[in-house]
């Protein structure tokens, strides 16, 4: 390792507060890799939380690795663990945590760089086991499933101890990879890609079969209410600088039909501020950092206003990310004002009430405008708005509606900056919109150009950019299957540039296989994964979307979708 790279890693370690790895060794050495940059990895609560849980296991030494921001420009780039400066081949296990489909490319690049054969069937027992997890792999791993020896499907807290015990047995008993995989193949949420086969008929999947019991059930963490996830480490180099993220709720009760997290993390669960405080105090002792609440929907039982006294006394700092319009009360706005938060984010998603009903959002443009009028008195400097384009049933009237809504907000909050994020709708597995066609890139470019041109005419308003190439590939990878490995062979020839990925965008097979509308009974690459949500329920929700019918939020007594049966 050259000194420059080592210094960068030391700077990262010195920026961290909270949990410090004190172990020097273990029966099994595991490298937990986040295939993106450090500033993103340290604020990924699932990744950094499971890192701590792994190191609580007796016999496991877990270290972390990430990739530098400028890695594509660097000739000295190698992947090393940040705690021990070890190379990948020094570990028994490489575990990738994957939250975003576009990071699939980074996994391919890392393994190629470190001269580790890409696919499981190419690696013998002299190589580390390669395991994957995270929502991008849990929802549909098939685009890159053959890279992994094992993929963890679902929520990881309870799987850590089972995986750790099996890895220790493998090491102590000298098991081969084959023996290990046969041992864990019946564990809930453990998916062994080599044991599953796909039969294709043209662009469709004809059959999924193999030597592992199907379906593979998504693992659900049952003790969330008593033991929620809290960042064990903070860093001033994170996207959220020196902030401990706290998961007050898991899942979302509102059932937005495009949202993977809302369906994949069912059932909706609520923890408590008391449990959060206990964990924060345990990790940070007297040096309590700023707290960031991950709250896709604020549950009334949370009584967030109870923290007001702590904030006033300066004992804690709180920051909210995006908030649901239905959940924002006067008490929440008071709390935001006390914390001196200058930016507030809401997600209209669409510009018209009609299209919002398709998405299962029942608030109206009038509600948004009323809210905009309220926040003028709470010290807010920036209002951030999230929209999507390319949505099912979208017309040009809906695009015009985005501009009309922003202009009407502008008239109300004349001095406030308006920051607009416009993302492209990607059909996601396990949602009611998993059958939908993804909009053509030409349409997306035309809409973005139109919105940008008109927003530039508004004072103090800006629109974030989106790379159309990455939009295309996110759509492909979200619904991709094992046949994509032929395209990855092209990518690895020149992974430092977008040249090959741009060229492949023109491939009609990619569009035809992965971006077009799917038939009702079509077998998906992810059909072998059982999330607990019934497929019939998702189809009914799709039909309700086209009818503009709202589905009520989840509650404790509902048995409709299948998860809570």
| Lowest mean pLDDT across 132-141, 182-191, 484-493 | 484-493
Q: Given this model, what pLDDT does residue 305 score?
A: 60
What would the pLDDT profile of 227-279 be if each residue is shown by its tens digit? 999 999 999 999 989 999 999 889 888 999 999 999 999 999 988 888 988 99
What would the pLDDT profile of 412-458 be if each residue is shown by its tens digit? 999 999 999 999 999 999 999 999 999 999 999 999 999 999 999 99
- Residues 462, 419 contacting (CB under 8 angstroms): yes
| Lowest mean pLDDT across 7-21, 122-136, 387-401 | 7-21
Rounded distance, CA 495 to CA 493, Å? 6
Q: Given this model, what pLDDT does residue 301 score?
A: 61
Q: Given this model, what pLDDT does residue 212 score?
A: 96
Q: Comparing 72 with 525, which gets the higher pLDDT? A: 525
| Environment class of 355 (CB within 10 Å of its CB; exposed 0-12, middle 13-18, buried 19+) | buried
306: DSSP letter: G
Rounded distance, CA 208 to CA 185, Å? 16
Q: Given this model, what pLDDT does residue 321 score?
A: 63
Does the pLDDT at position 188 exceed 80? yes
314 phi, psi to nearest 5 deg? 75, 15
Please compute Rg for the chain using Cα positions: 24
What would the pLDDT profile of 157-174 be if each residue is shown by its tens digit? 999 999 999 999 999 999
Does the pLDDT at position 559 exceed 70? yes
Neighbours of 384 (CB within 10 A): 17
Q: Given this model, what pLDDT does residue 133 score?
A: 98
Compute the mean pLDDT over every residue in the chain, rounded to the nearest whole number: 92
Rounded distance, CA 516 to CA 437, Å? 4
Q: Given this model, what pLDDT does residue 39 score?
A: 95
Does the pLDDT at position 126 exceed 90? yes
| Environment class of 94 (CB within 10 Å of its CB; exposed 0-12, middle 13-18, buried 19+) | buried
Rounded distance, CA 18 to CA 284, Å? 5
Rounded distance, CA 260 to CA 494, Å? 32
95: DSSP letter: E
Distance of CA 446 to the CA centre of its chain: 28
Rounded distance, CA 507 to CA 35, Å? 27
| Lowest mean pLDDT across 75-89, 92-106, 289-303, 399-413 | 289-303
404: Cβ contacts below 8 Å, ≥ 6 apart: 351
Give the residue from 494, 279, 447 showing the smallest Cα distance to 350. Answer: 447
Q: Given this model, what pLDDT does residue 70 score?
A: 79
Q: Given this model, what pLDDT does residue 297 score?
A: 63
* Torsion on CA atoms 506, 512, 514, 517, rounded to nearest 10: 130
DSSP 254-291: S--TT-HHHHHTPSPEE--HHHHHHHHHHHHTT---EE
Tokens of residue 539, six digits: 């189809």
b/e burial code for range 474-507 (CB count within 10 A of at least 16 → b): bbbbbbbbbbbbebbeebeeebeeeeebeebbee
User: What is the rounded average pLDDT of the residues 125-148?
Assistant: 98
User: What is the rounded average pLDDT of the residues 115-133?
Assistant: 97
What does the angle CA 97 – CA 244 – CA 15 come to, to the nearest 5 degrees? 80
What would the pLDDT profile of 279-310 be if each residue is shown by its tens digit? 999 999 878 888 887 776 666 666 666 667 76
Give the residue from 230, 246, 239 showing the smallest Cα distance to 37. Answer: 239
Tokens of residue 50, six digits: 């499971």
Tokens of residue 455, six digits: 């927003």
Distance of CA 341 to the CA centre of its chain: 25
423: Cβ contacts below 8 Å, ≥ 6 apart: 386, 387, 388, 389, 466
Q: What percent of the chain has pLDDT over 70?
A: 95
308: DSSP letter: H
Rounded distance, CA 471 to CA 48, Å? 27
Give the residue from 492, 511, 491 showing the smallest Cα distance to 503. Answer: 491
301: Cβ contacts below 8 Å, ≥ 6 apart: 270
What would the pLDDT profile of 321-372 be if each residue is shown by its tens digit? 667 787 777 877 888 888 778 888 999 999 999 999 999 999 999 999 999 9
- Stated as kind and residue range, the H or E segment containing 94 is strand 93-97
- Residues 386, 463 contacting (CB under 8 angstroms): no
What does the angle CA 159 – CA 164 – CA 170 come to, to the nearest 5 degrees? 130
- Residues 422, 448 contacting (CB under 8 angstroms): yes
Q: Given this model, what pLDDT does residue 409 score?
A: 96
325: Cβ contacts below 8 Å, ≥ 6 apart: 346, 363, 367, 368, 371
Give the residue from 237, 303, 62 showing the smallest Cα distance to 164. Answer: 62
User: What is the rounded average pLDDT of the residues 107-122?
Assistant: 94
DSSP 368-397: HHHHHHHGGGGT--EEEEEEEES-TT--HH
b/e burial code for range 165-203 (CB count within 10 A of at least 16 → b): ebbbbbbeeebebeebbeebbebebbbbbbebebeeeee
Q: Comparing 322 with 552, which gets the higher pLDDT? A: 552
* Confidence band of 314 (pLDDT split at 50, 70, 90): low
Q: What percent of the chain has pLDDT over 90?
A: 73
Q: Given this model, what pLDDT does residue 315 score?
A: 60
| Lowest mean pLDDT across 118-127, 186-195, 246-255, 539-548 | 246-255
* Confidence band of 24 (pLDDT split at 50, 70, 90): confident
């Amino acid at each position: 390792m050259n000194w420059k790279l080592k210094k960068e890693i030391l700077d990262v370690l010195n920026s961290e507060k909270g949990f410090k790895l004190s172990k020097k060794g273990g029966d099994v050495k595991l490298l937990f890799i986040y295939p993106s940059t450090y500033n993103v990895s340290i604020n990924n609560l699932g990744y950094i939380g499971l890192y701590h849980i792994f190191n609580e296991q007796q016999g496991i030494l877990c270290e972390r690795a990430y990739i530098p921001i400028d890695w594509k420009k660097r000739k000295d780039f190698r992947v090393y663990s940040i705690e021990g400066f070890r190379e990948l081949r020094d570990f028994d296990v490489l575990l990738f945590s994957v939250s975003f489909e576009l990071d699939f490319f980074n996994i391919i690049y890392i393994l190629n760089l470190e001269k580790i054969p890409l696919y499981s069937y190419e690696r013998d027992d002299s190589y580390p086991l390669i395991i994957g997890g995270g929502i991008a792999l849990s929802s549909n791993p098939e685009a890159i499933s053959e890279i992994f020896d094992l993929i963890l499907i679902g929520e990881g807290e309870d799987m850590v101890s089972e995986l750790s015990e099996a890895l220790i047995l493998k090491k102590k008993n000298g098991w081969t990879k084959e023996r290990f995989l046969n041992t864990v193949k019946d564990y809930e949420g453990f998916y062994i890609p080599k044991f599953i086969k796909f039969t294709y008929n043209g662009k469709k999947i004809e059959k999924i079969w193999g030597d592992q019991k199907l379906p593979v059930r998504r693992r659900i963490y049952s003790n969330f209410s008593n033991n929620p996830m809290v960042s064990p480490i903070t860093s001033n180099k994170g996207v959220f600088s020196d902030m401990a993220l706290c998961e007050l709720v898991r899942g979302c009760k509102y059932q937005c039909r495009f949202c993977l997290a809302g369906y994949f993390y069912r059932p909706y669960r609520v923890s408590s501020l008391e449990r959060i405080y206990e964990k924060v105090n345990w990790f940070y002792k007297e040096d309590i950092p700023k707290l960031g609440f991950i709250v896709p929907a604020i549950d009334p039982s949370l009584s967030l206003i109870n923290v007001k006294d702590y904030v006033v006394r300066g004992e804690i700092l709180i920051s909210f990310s995006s908030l649901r319009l239905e959940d924002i009360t006067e008490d929440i706005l008071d709390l935001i004002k006390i914390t001196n938060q200058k930016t507030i984010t809401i997600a209209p998603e669409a510009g018209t009430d009609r299209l919002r009903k398709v998405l299962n959002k029942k608030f109206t443009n009038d509600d948004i405008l009323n809210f905009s009028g309220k926040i003028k008195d709470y010290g807010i400097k920036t209002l951030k708005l999230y929209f999507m384009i390319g949505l099912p049933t979208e017309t040009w009237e809906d695009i015009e509606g985005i501009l009309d809504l922003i202009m009407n907000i502008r008239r109300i909050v004349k001095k406030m900056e308006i920051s607009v994020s416009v993302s492209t709708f990607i059909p996601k597995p396990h949602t009611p919109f998993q059958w939908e066609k993804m909009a053509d890139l030409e349409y997306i470019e035309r809409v973005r150009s139109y919105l940008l041109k008109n927003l530039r005419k508004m004072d103090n308003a800006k629109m974030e950019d989106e790379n159309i190439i990455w939009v295309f590939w996110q759509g492909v990878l979200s619904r991709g299957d094992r046949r994509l490995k032929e395209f990855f062979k092209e990518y690895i020839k020149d992974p430092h540039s977008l040249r090959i990925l741009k060229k492949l965008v023109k491939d009609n097979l990619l569009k035809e296989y992965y971006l077009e509308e799917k038939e009702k009974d079509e077998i998906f690459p992810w059909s072998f994964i059982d999330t607990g949500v019934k497929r019939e329920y998702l189809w009914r929700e799709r039909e309700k979307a086209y009818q503009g019918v709202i589905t009520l939020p989840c509650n404790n007594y509902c048995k409709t979708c299948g998860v809570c049966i």
